[in-house]
Structure 1
Amino acid sequence: MKKVLFTLITLISLNVNSQSIDYELYTLDNGLDVILHQENSSPVVTVSVMYHVGAKDEIEGRTGFAHFFEHLLFEGTKNIERGKWFDIVSSNGGSNNANTSHDRTYYYETFPSNSLELGLWMESERMLHPIINQIGVDTQNEVVKEEKRQRIDNAPYGALIYGTAVDPYLYPKHPYGRSVIGSMEDLDAATLQEFIDFNNKWNNPNNAVLVVAGDIEIEKTKNLIEAYFGDIPNNGEVPVRETVVEDPISETIKLTEYDSNIQIPAKAFLYRTPGMTDRDSYVLQYISAVLSGGKSSRMVKRMKDDEKIALEVIAFNQPQQDYGKYLMVALPVGETSLEKLSTTMDEEIEKIKSDLISERE
């Protein structure tokens, strides 16, 4: 069994710029926020809905619900037969998927632009008429268990990639410390009514954003959105969330994680960082590009090309609503020690803190 050593500390902040995209934002009477982006260069349109509910909104003893619904809400609706969702999408030349984080759940369909109305109808069906029954719950429970086995339990570096080994140390108070996929025991113990209640509490128009982007006509799209979403009722007010504030990390935390799925150990630094709306979160995106964004970036050039001590090296910011997470990871070449990787990454951090970033970079 090989070891993966993680070091958790806090980080500094710098500066960054952002890109502007033209869009129109408005809100329906039922509270559904709508964002439209017109781009007519290709005959393609994407319809997506993001619900402001994620793993952080679950309660102790019932974790994994948000991610579970990412799967469950493809089971079918009042007007879409069970098991036919993906068939409808593919037979109309489209693609679709969904994903879940600690903060939100996201669904989308991409179609040829002449199927815009189909995409809007399908997402309105998911919001208004989902069928949540025991056969769907039992089916998706097994799907989620298999996903956990594949992506976390039996995947190389799975505990690092999905945070199950490190997030409890970064977020000892905040629910970000729990994994998005949750506890299989919690899902097994949950009743059908608890799943129905979770859906009614969170998956409402007043807790969602509809985005339509691509080859569209704005006024026509607005009329279709009003027709399909305007009359969808809310099951209640948007739930009030408790604000959880973490104490500062006052000293380095060192953690060794053993992973039987890997042949090469990894050295990783992880930092708790500001939330995604903080200016420093954008700064960290820029720092990532300087450190590992391409062959000429600082860490890649030094550690892979010049000194040849790293098989792979990467640095990136993972922004979230309340707090972010910054990762620096390196895999050693040959007999290179993890301590050597650690020293080199520390030196690059000090350079970022003390030296200006050049115009070339």
Structure 2
Amino acid sequence: MKKKLIGVASLLLGLTTSIYAQKVDFTEYNLDNGLHVILHKANAAPVVTVSVMYHVGSKNEVLGRTGFAHFFEHLLFEGSDNLKRGEFMKVVSQAGGQNNANTTQDRTYYYEVLPSNELKTGLWLESERMLHPVINEIGVKTQNEVVKEEKRQRIDNQPYGRFAEEVFKRLFTKHPYTWQTIGSMADLDAAKLDEFKAFFKKYYAPNNACLVVTGDFDIEKTKNLISAYFSAVPKGEEIVQPNITETPITTAIIDSVYDANIQLPAVITSYRVPGMKSRDAYVLNMISTILSNGGSSRLYKKMVDDKKNALQVGAFNYSLEDYGAYITYALPNGNASLSDLVKDIDEEVAKMQTELISEHDFQKLQNIMENNFVNANTGVEGIANNLADAYTFQKNTNLINTEIEIYRTLTREEMREVAKKYLGANQRVLLYYLPKSNQ
């Protein structure tokens, strides 16, 4: 009787999340200069988000000049022809808003969240950033120091801060994913001002960007404002994104690295998998969910609760545009050996490759995906980011409404086959991440 009640509860949860998955209505169009515009009106609160996503990340850099995309995340706050140096954030703050930016291997994203009566301010700021930012020696030198300090705090002096760098430089040998978004400080030091200007001119053009406005605004008035602020921005050259194929890994790459910032070792496995546009990427998301999502997940229950040989254990699919990295990790509890942790993780992966998960577990997975889908679209800033992502990477903005349908069509058999296809022990990087004193 108890199992039946649990099953009914799971089904009800699935129905509930479906009921509250509100459709995101939007309008989209292009300006003559190629800028793609997406508008989503939501009057629940007197707030607007203005965001711009540029289809440029660290993968658009070249060896010897890495770190440019992340550097521009900072540099384009320096000011413009009509905005004094250091005034960008001050204008946003005085308008009662907040702003930020972030960079990945594939794109750079800027946004402002403002009171709805300050929509014009947000559009003006982003047009200034795109049309005529000030790129000079003072700004480059200033932001160079900012980036160096960020690297010290987030990577060099952070426990396990280099794990992504160490994984990706082994997992990728041809593709620019081999270096991290923050890049090389030596490369930034060596770069000339003209190189920064050329990078901006090439990649920060309207035809390589997506402008999204979400929140409380009038659509027709906003269209007029967008035309007034952005139509004068000249169209740039057509961008051809990298198309680089990696040679398959057929023999495990096993290595050790040492970190002076840690006391506990870790073990990491990583597999090169398809990028975010692949159906298999969605399957891998479901596999990682059943392996390590929460206290009832297979890895946590086995290694943290039952065997107590791990303090932490997890699996996740790091999905990028061209490829992904499927990563598992574990930190030992007490004197547990790293080899035993790998063995335990491998056993659970092997079950995914040889056995179908139960109908009950599959229904639970579907419910979790439904819930994640709903939660991803609960605020105007999150919706703005998701709309920009859907257009930039998929050229299908309506994916914000239909992506859940992909998860609904996945099968238990696909989970088994995808695990078998990509998660073989001979297809991975096995990395022992050790305290430096052990060297």
TM-score (norm 2): 0.75
Which protein has the bigger strand share?
A: 1
Q: 1:112 to 1:360 in 2, by over 3 A?
A: same
Give the Cα separation in 2 of the matches to 1:242 and 1:126.
25
Between 1 and 2, higher relative CO (CA 8 Å, sep ≥ 6) is seen in: 1
Please say if 1:203 is aligned against 2:204.
yes
State the match for 1:329 in structure 2: 329
Partners of 1:49 and 1:211 within 8 A in 2: yes
Where is the helix percentage greater, Structure 1 or Structure 2? 2
2:146 paired residue number: 143
Which secondary structure does the structure 2 equivalent of 1:158 belong to?
A: coil
In the alignment, the residues of structure 2 paired with residue 322 and residue 35 of structure 1 have an alpha-carbon distance, to the nearest angstrom, of 24
Structure 1 pair 190–262 and aligned structure 2 pair: CA distance change class (3 A): same
- The equivalent of 2:180 in structure 1 is 179
Q: 1-side partners of 2:119 and 2:130: how far apart?
A: 17
Answer yes or no: is the 8 Å Cα contact 1:202–1:238 preserved in 2.
no
Mapping of residues 306-345 of structure 1, within 5 Å: 306-345=306-345
Q: Would you say 1:73 and 2:76 are equivalent positions? A: yes
Q: Distance in 2 between matches of 1:218 and 1:314?
A: 44
Shift of 1:89: 1.3
Per-residue CA deviations over 1:105-130 (Å, capped at 9, x if unaligned) read: 11111112221111111111100120
- Alignment pair present for 1:360 and 2:369: no
Asked if 1 retains the 8 angstrom alpha-carbon contact of 2:271 and 2:326, the reply is yes
The aligned residue for residue 48 of structure 1 is 51
Partner of 1:83: 86
- Is the counterpart of residue 295 in structure 1 residue 285 in structure 2? no
What amino acid is aligned across from residue 132 of structure 1 in structure 2? Answer: I
Query: What is residue 192 of structure 2 aligned with on the other side?
Result: 191
By how many angstroms is 1:96 displaced?
Answer: 1.1
Match of 2:171 in 1: 170
SS of match in other structure, 2:69: helix
Partner of 2:256: 256
- Structure 2 runs not aligned, ≥5 long: 1-17, 366-439
AA in 2 matched with 1:244: I
For residue 317 of structure 1, give the secondary structure of its aligned residue in structure 2.
strand
Give distance in 2, aligned partners of 1:227 and 1:85: 20
- Map 1:102-113 to 2 at 5 A: 102-113=105-116
In structure 1, list runs of 5 or more residues that go unmatched.
Answer: 1-17
Partners of 1:243 and 1:260 in 2: CA distance: 37
Paired with 1:91 and 1:292, the residues of 2 have a C-alpha distance of 43
Q: Distance in 1 between matches of 2:24 and 2:298?
A: 30
Q: Kindly state the Cα deviation for residue 302 of structure 1 after the two structures are TM-superposed.
A: 2.0
Distance across 1 between alignment mates of 2:291 and 2:218 = 42
Specify the alignment match of 1:6 in structure 2: none
For 1:109 and 1:313, the matched residues in 2 are separated by 36
Partner in structure 1 of residue 349 of structure 2:
349
Q: CA deviation at 1:282?
A: 1.6
The normalised TM-score by structure 1 is 0.90
2:98 matched to which residue of 1?
A: 95
Q: CA deviation at 1:60?
A: 2.1
How far is 1:242 from its partner? 4.1
1:37 to 35, 40, 44: 40
SS in 2 for 1:35: strand
TM-superposed deviation, 1:288:
2.1
Q: Which amino acid aligns with 1:266?
A: A
After superposing the two structures, state which structure 1 stretch, 72-81 or 213-222, moved more.
Answer: 213-222
CA distance, structure 1, for counterparts of residue 294 and residue 149 of structure 2: 34
Sequence identity, in percent? 59
- Separation in structure 2 between the aligned mates of residue 345 and residue 21 of structure 1, nearest angstrom: 39
1:90-115, Cα deviation, whole Å (9 max, x unpaired):
22221111111111111111112221
Change (3 A) 1:290 1:219: farther
C-alpha RMSD of the superposition = 1.6
